[in-house]
Amino acid sequence: MSDRIRHLTLSHVVLPLDNPVSDAKVLTGRQKPLTETVLLFVEVLTEQGLTGMGFSYSKRAGGKAQYAHLAEIAEVAIGQDPSDIDRIYQSLLWAGASVGRSGVASQAIAALDVALWDLKARRADLPLAKLIGAQRDSCRVYNTSGGFLQASVEEMKEKASASLDSGIGGIKIKVGQPDWKKDLERVTAMREHLGETPLMVDANQQWDRARARRMCRELEKFDLIWIEEPLDAWDAVGHADLSHVFDTPIATGEMLTSVPEHMALIDAGYRGIVQPDAPRIGGITPFLRFATLAAHAGLALAPHYAMEIHLHLAATYPTEPWVEHFEWLNPLFNERIDIHDGRMWLAERPGLGFTLSDQMRARTVETASFGKP
């Protein structure tokens, strides 16, 4: 029997970090240190009393814009069948098409799209990965939050050891500093500290093509799992060229905000690792669309951030992926993900498997409601 979306609640949430962090974009003067994550939560209620929860996020800027955009178009979803997720997605996309179909527009819609997938899986009483069709019950997991550039080498080592002791299987650290020799010193220190533990590096788009080639050549000897965002995120051709030249895999994609932007990598002949981010690409619906194309192209997958969503999506990918661990969003949820033996494990809870905490409510600075409660 068909159902209808009866009510939507949007919540604008600001979550401060315990300590500011800096990547290469800060050291090159392009951004300020990151001090908070701003999130857009959507809660869905249907005529039959079913519920779903989803979120998107922004860092440094854009959170208010995401909230404002969805608040302007959310009414379009009221009365629609929540099972028709792609139909709802397209109606929202076209409702705000005058500002584009990527960027803030798609990121705003993502929160509702995720909530509808959560609802659909809850209705089936299945974890989201099982609803879609899981290939595995756990995924390899690596931690990034301890590897930012404001941390000293000793601090970085301590955090890496703590992550490994907690059951995490790999460590990623930031590079891309103006003085490239400092990058090599930090990578050398971490490789010596970690031994054969999987290690990744992330330049956060701060090299030009010439510097990227030189750095990728220098980094080959460290047996890295990947070198992430060596170039500007939109330089599909440059990333594709690097992926053909070096043995160390190249990874990119986290900053792209639509399926066409990601497809530019495949069209350019990219052979590296793709890192789509469901809240950024526009939600689970476009994420799955691109994942199908990426799998067809034989690309490896390592989704960016938002492990609460990406564990489920990574578990459905045909080849073994990596999932990124960030503990930053933990205060917003009552549940925790099980991590041990270097892997992140799916829970048996239906949907995404999370309920919103009192801290999430306390951090909410603005709400909007649509339809009948």
pLDDT tens-place string over residues 11-42: 999 999 888 888 888 888 887 888 889 999 99
Query: Is 234 strand, coil or helix?
Result: coil
pLDDT at 126 over 90: yes
State the residue for tokens 């497809």.
263
Q: How confident is the model at residue 87 (pLDDT cuts 50, 70, 90)?
A: very high
Report pTM: 0.94
Which residue of the set 159, 304, 312, 325 is catalytic?
Answer: 304
The total number of residues written for the chain in this structure? 373
Q: What are phi and psi of 81, to 5 degrees?
A: -75, 120
Q: Which residue has the higher pLDDT, 240 or 328?
A: 240
CB 58 within 8 A of CB 86: no
CB 32 within 8 A of CB 60: yes
State the residue for tokens 């109606």.
91
Give the mean pLDDT of 104-118.
96
Q: How many helices (H) and strands (E) does the chain have?
A: 14, 14
pLDDT at 63: 87
**Which residues fall in the annotated binding site for Mg(2+)?**
202, 228, 254
- Cβ within 8 Å of residue 350, ≥6 positions away: 121, 122, 124, 125, 126, 127
pLDDT at 343 over 80: yes
Query: Is 283 strand, coil or helix?
Result: coil
Q: How confident is the model at residue 60 (pLDDT cuts 50, 70, 90)?
A: confident
Instruction: Give the domains, in start order, of the chain with CATH numbers.
Output: 5-125+358-371 (3.30.390.10), 129-345 (3.20.20.120)
pLDDT at 131: 98
Residue from 254, 249, 256 nearest 299 by CA: 249
Catalytic residue status for 174: yes
pLDDT at 227 over 80: yes
Tokens standing for 66?
A: 């995401």
pLDDT digits (tens, 9 = 90+) for 280-296: 999 999 999 999 999 99
Tokens standing for 299?
A: 């690309």
pLDDT at 97: 81
Instruction: Determine the distance from the C-alpha atom of residue 65 to the mean position of all C-alpha atoms in its chain, rounded to a whole number.
Output: 19
CB 116 within 8 A of CB 88: yes
Instruction: Please name the helix (run of DSSP H) or strand (run of DSSP E) that holds residue 9, with its range, or none.
Output: strand 5-21
Which residue of the set 12, 159, 174, 325 is catalytic?
Answer: 174
Query: Is 162 strand, coil or helix?
Result: helix
**Which residues fall in the annotated binding site for substrate?**
23-25, 59-60, 172, 204, 324
Residue 55, strand partner residues:
41
**Which residues fall in the annotated binding site?**
23-25, 59-60, 172, 202, 204, 228, 254, 324
CA distance 323 to 252: 14
Catalytic residue status for 304: yes
Minimum mean pLDDT range among 63-67, 81-85, 101-105: 101-105
CA distance 170 to 273: 16
Which pairing describes strands 5-21 and 199-202: parallel, antiparallel, or unpaired?
unpaired
CA distance 68 to 160: 38
Task: Report the chain's mean pLDDT, rounded to a whole number.
Answer: 95
Which pairing describes strands 51-59 and 273-274: parallel, antiparallel, or unpaired?
unpaired
CA distance 301 to 307: 14
- Cβ within 8 Å of residue 22, ≥6 positions away: 33, 34, 148, 149, 150
What percentage of the chain has pLDDT greater than the value 90? 87
Q: What are phi and psi of 19, to 5 degrees?
A: -140, 135
Tokens standing for 295?
A: 């799998």
Task: Give the number of other Cβ atoms within 10 Å of residue 71's Cβ.
Answer: 19
CB 166 within 8 A of CB 339: yes
Q: Could you give the residue ranges of the DSSP H alpha helices within the chain? A: 24-27, 63-73, 85-95, 104-123, 128-132, 153-165, 180-194, 209-219, 236-245, 259-267, 278-281, 284-296, 307-315, 358-362
